[in-house]
Amino acid sequence: MTDATPQPGDRMPSLDPAPEVVARLDALSAAAREAPQDQATMAALWRAALGLERWILIARGSSEEPRPFAATFPPGPLLLVFSTAERAQVGGMAAGLSREDASRLIATPLPAAIEWAASFQAAGIVGVALDHGTTGAWTPLQNLVPMRDWFAANPG
């Protein structure tokens, strides 16, 4: 039997999805930017985003009690959620954080991340931005749970 406990010098598993998953997100995001009123395109993008294994967020606060980073945009404060660790760093720096601050990450598994993110509405957060600094799509927090439920009821 092997010991699954990480050892010094072990390679850390990647937080990132497979390259083809990232490429699909990029293609859907580009299509959504080209046709922002196309509901089918936006639904496909958010279906892919909610279908990721995890969302990566930038950690703020202490190591013992981290909280996700939110940045202020014209709609109001948005949680920044990312598909890859590199995009989190790029997005954090685009939002004004230092490289070091943008490198403190929280990986939150989906689908639990959906309700967790939605809970921040009580703290004044109005939405989530996907891959800020790279793609830039966003949705209101109140859309997350209904989207999750609709996608589950309507596999696509």
Per-residue confidence in pLDDT tens, the chain, 156 aa: 444 555 555 455 678 899 999 999 999 999 999 998 999 999 999 999 999 999 999 999 988 889 999 999 999 999 999 999 999 999 999 999 999 999 999 999 999 999 999 999 999 999 999 999 888 799 999 999 999 999 999 987
pLDDT reported for residue 102: 95
Which segments of the chain does DSSP mark as H helices, in order? 19-34, 39-50, 85-94, 99-102, 112-118, 141-153
| Contact call for residues 69 and 80 (beta carbons, < 8 A) | yes
**How many domains does the structure of the chain reveal?**
1
Q: Is residue 8 part of a domain?
A: no
107 in any annotated domain: yes
CATH of the domain at 79: 3.40.1350.90
The pLDDT of residue 155: 87
In angstroms, rounded to a whole number, what is the distance separating the alpha carbons of residues 45 and 6?
35
Domain that holds residue 118: 19-153
CB half-sphere exposure, 62, CA atoms < 13 A: 2
Q: How many Å apart are CA 58 and CA 53, to the nearest integer?
A: 17
Per-residue model confidence (pLDDT) at position 2? 47
∠ CA 35-86-139, rounded to 5°: 35
92 within a domain of the structure (yes/no) = yes
pTM comes to 0.88
Pairing mode of beta strands 127-130, 76-82: parallel
Does residue 97 fall inside a structural domain? Answer: yes
Q: Determine the pLDDT at residue 1.
A: 44
